């Protein structure tokens, strides 16, 4: 991250598959270089939650223009987001977002026939151009409200317009 005092996004991926999705997103040519950083995979959704509590809560309090995307597999668990929401301090709820595939990224790859990097690139393209085919699919549709919150918070500095 070039300057932590500027608006920025840190993506904390659950595993390597989610890292590949994030890398594809960042690779999109409309994404402003230096506005988003993908950190190494946490090693499971519980490790993502622990990293939020142990590392990113303090960081967000120190750098209020920062945002954190917790990129997880929902493993078809409807209550997974609520577990995270419960652990996000109220003053930081506008800076922390929980996004991910309904099952696992590998399932998205199997059904779409695209690479994980390519899927991430398509998700970025839909964010930039206003499309929603993949975002509205069975794989990512459960993120609709969270995606809208995230878009409202970061689109102004994340994408070249």
Summarize pLDDT for 103-128 with one digit per residue, the tens: 999 999 999 999 999 999 999 999 99
Q: Report the predicted TM-score, pTM, of the whole model to 2 decimal places.
A: 0.96
Tell me the pLDDT tens digit for each residue of 42-82. Answer: 999 999 999 999 999 999 999 999 999 999 999 999 999 99
Q: Angle at Cα 14 formed by Cα 111 and Cα 6, nearest 5°? A: 110
CATH class of the domain defined by 8-158: alpha beta
With a CB cutoff of 8 Å and minimum separation 6, the contacts of 27 are 117, 120, 121, 124
Domain segments of the chain as ranges: 8-158
């Amino acid at each position: 991250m070039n300057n932590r005092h500027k608006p920025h996004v840190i993506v904390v991926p659950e595993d390597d598959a989610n890292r590949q999705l994030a890398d594809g997103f960042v690779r999109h040519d409309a994404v402003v270089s230096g506005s988003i950083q993908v950190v190494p995979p946490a090693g499971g959704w519980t490790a993502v939650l622990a990293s939020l509590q142990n590392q990113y809560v303090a960081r967000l309090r120190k750098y209020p223009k920062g945002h954190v995307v917790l990129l997880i597999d929902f493993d078809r668990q409807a209550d997974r987001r609520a577990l995270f929401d419960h652990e996000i301090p109220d003053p930081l709820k506008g800076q922390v977002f929980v996004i991910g595939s309904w099952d696992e990224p590998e399932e998205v790859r199997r059904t779409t026939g695209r690479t994980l990097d390519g899927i991430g690139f398509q998700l970025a393209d839909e964010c930039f151009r206003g499309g929603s085919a993949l975002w509205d699919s069975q794989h990512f549709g459960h993120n609709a409200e969270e995606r809208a919150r995230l878009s409202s918070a970061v689109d102004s500095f994340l994408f070249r317009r």
